[in-house]
A and B are shown apart, each in its own frame.
Chain A
Amino acid sequence: MNNNKTDGGTDSGALLDVKDLRIEFPTRRGILTAIDGVSLRLNSGEILGVVGESGAGKSLTGTAITGLLERPGRIAGGEIHFNGQRIDNLPAEAMRKLRGKQIGSIFQDPLTSLNPLYSVGRQLIETIRTHTDLTPRQARARAIEMLTQVGIPAPEQRIDQYPHQFSGGMRQRVVIALALCVNPKLVIADEPTTALDVSVQAQIIELLKQLCREHGSAVMLVTHDMGVIAETCDRVAVMYAGRLVEVGPVQEVVKQARHPYTRGLMGSIPKLGDEVEHLVQIDGAMPRLSHIPKGCAFNPRCPYATARCREEKPEFAQAGQGEVACWLWDGVNPATDPDTLFAEVSQAQRAKKQMNAVRPAPKTSVQNCGQEV
Chain B
Amino acid sequence: MLSFLIRRLGQSMLVMLAVALLAFSMFRFVGDPVTNMLSQDASVEEREQLRDSLGLSEPLYVQFSTFVVQAAQGDFGISYRNQRPVSELIAERMPATLELVAVAFIISLLVGVPMGVYSALKSHSWLSHVFQTLSLVGISLPTFVTGILLILTFSVTLNWLPSFGRGEVVNIGWWSTGLLTASGLKSLILPGIMLGLFQVTLIMRLVRAEMMEVLRTDYIRFARARGLSNRAVNFGHALKNTLMPVITIIGLQLGAMIAFAIITETVFQWPGMGFLFIQAVSFVDIPVMSAYLLLVSLIFVVINIIVDMLYFLLDPRLCADRGTANSH
- Residues of chain A whose beta carbon lies under 8 Å from any beta carbon of chain B: 66, 68, 96-101, 104-105, 107, 109, 112-119, 126-127, 130-131, 157, 161-162, 164-167, 170, 175, 178-179
Contact A105 B225 (CB under 8 A): yes
User: B109-149 toward A: CB 8 Å interface, digit per residue (1/0)?
Assistant: 00000000000000000000000000000000000000000
Q: Which residue of A lies closest to B240 (CB)?
A: A117
Contact A117 B316 (CB under 8 A): yes
A175–B328 CA distance with the chains assembled, in angstroms: 19
A118–B328 CA distance with the chains assembled, in angstroms: 18
Task: Tell me whether A130 and B222 are in contact in the complex, defined as CB-CB below 8 angstroms, given that A115-B237, A164-B316, A170-B327 are known contacts.
Answer: no
| Secondary structure call for the B interface | helix
Contact B222 A113 (CB under 8 A): yes
User: B186-230 toward A: CB 8 Å interface, digit per residue (1/0)?
Assistant: 000000000000000000000000000000011101111111111
A97–B226 CA distance with the chains assembled, in angstroms: 9
Contact A165 B219 (CB under 8 A): no
Report the minimal beta-carbon distance from A220 to chain B, rounded to whole angstroms: 13
A105–B180 CA distance with the chains assembled, in angstroms: 56
Partner of B227, one of A116, A119, A131, A167: A131
Task: Tell me whether A109 and B218 are in contact in the complex, defined as CB-CB below 8 angstroms, given that A165-B324, A166-B327 are known contacts.
Answer: yes
In the complex, what residues of A have CB within 8 A of residue B241's CB?
115-117
5 A-B pairs closest in CB distance = A100-B227, A105-B225, A99-B227, A112-B218, A162-B316
Contact A167 B315 (CB under 8 A): no
Contact B232 A126 (CB under 8 A): yes
Contact A164 B328 (CB under 8 A): yes
In the complex, what residues of A have CB within 8 A of residue B236's CB?
126
Contact A112 B232 (CB under 8 A): no
In the complex, what residues of A have CB within 8 A of residue B230's CB?
96
Contact B227 A112 (CB under 8 A): no
Q: Which residue of A lies closest to B230 (CB)?
A: A96
Sampled A-B contacts (9; CB under 8 Å): A66-B225, A97-B227, A101-B227, A105-B225, A117-B241, A117-B315, A130-B228, A161-B326, A164-B317
Partner of A175, one of B222, B232, B237, B323: B222
Task: Tell me whether A117 and B314 are in contact in the complex, defined as CB-CB below 8 angstroms, given that A97-B227, A107-B222 are known contacts.
Answer: yes
In the complex, what residues of B have CB within 8 A of residue A165's CB?
323-324, 326-328
Contact B217 A112 (CB under 8 A): yes
In the complex, what residues of B have CB within 8 A of residue A97's CB?
227
Q: Which residue of A lies closest to B215 (CB)?
A: A70
A136–B237 CA distance with the chains assembled, in angstroms: 19
In the complex, what residues of B have CB within 8 A of residue A170's CB?
327
Contact B327 A167 (CB under 8 A): yes
In the complex, what residues of A have CB within 8 A of residue B317's CB?
116, 162, 164
Contact A107 B227 (CB under 8 A): no
New A-B contacts (16) at CB < 8 Å, excluding given A99-B227, A130-B229, A165-B324 = A96-B229, A99-B226, A100-B226, A100-B228, A105-B222, A107-B221, A112-B219, A114-B219, A115-B219, A117-B315, A127-B226, A127-B228, A130-B227, A161-B324, A162-B322, A166-B326
A213–B226 CA distance with the chains assembled, in angstroms: 20
Q: Which residue of B lies closest to A161 (CB)?
A: B324
A250–B230 CA distance with the chains assembled, in angstroms: 39
In the complex, what residues of A have CB within 8 A of residue B227's CB?
96-101, 127, 130-131
A179–B223 CA distance with the chains assembled, in angstroms: 10
In the complex, what residues of B have CB within 8 A of residue A107's CB?
218, 221-222, 225
A105–B218 CA distance with the chains assembled, in angstroms: 12
Task: Tell me whether A105 and B226 are in contact in the complex, defined as CB-CB below 8 angstroms, given that A126-B232, A130-B232, A165-B326 are known contacts.
Answer: yes
Contact B226 A130 (CB under 8 A): yes
User: B76-98 toward A: CB 8 Å interface, digit per residue (1/0)?
Assistant: 00000000000000000000000
Partner of A116, one of B223, B229, B316, B324: B316
Report the minimal beta-carbon distance from A170 to chain B, rounded to whole angstroms: 7
Report the minimal beta-carbon distance from A87 to chain B, rounded to whole angstroms: 13
Within 8 A of A (CB), among B282-328: 314-317, 322-324, 326-328
Contact B223 A115 (CB under 8 A): yes
In the complex, what residues of B have CB within 8 A of residue A115's CB?
219, 223, 237, 241
Which of A115, A119, A162: most chain B CB closer than 10 A? A115
Report the minimal beta-carbon distance from B198 to chain A, rounded to whole angstroms: 29
Q: Which residue of A lies closest to B327 (CB)?
A: A167
Contact A116 B219 (CB under 8 A): yes
A100–B221 CA distance with the chains assembled, in angstroms: 12
In the complex, what residues of A have CB within 8 A of residue B326's CB?
161, 165-166
A81–B228 CA distance with the chains assembled, in angstroms: 22
Report the minimal beta-carbon distance from A93 to chain B, rounded to whole angstroms: 9
Contact A68 B219 (CB under 8 A): no
In the complex, what residues of B have CB within 8 A of residue A161's CB?
322-324, 326
Report the minimal beta-carbon distance from B149 to chain A, rounded to whole angstroms: 39
Q: Which residue of B lies closest to A96 (CB)?
A: B227
Report the minimal beta-carbon distance from B100 to chain A, rounded to whole angstroms: 34
A114–B230 CA distance with the chains assembled, in angstroms: 17
Report the minimal beta-carbon distance from B122 to chain A, rounded to whole angstroms: 12
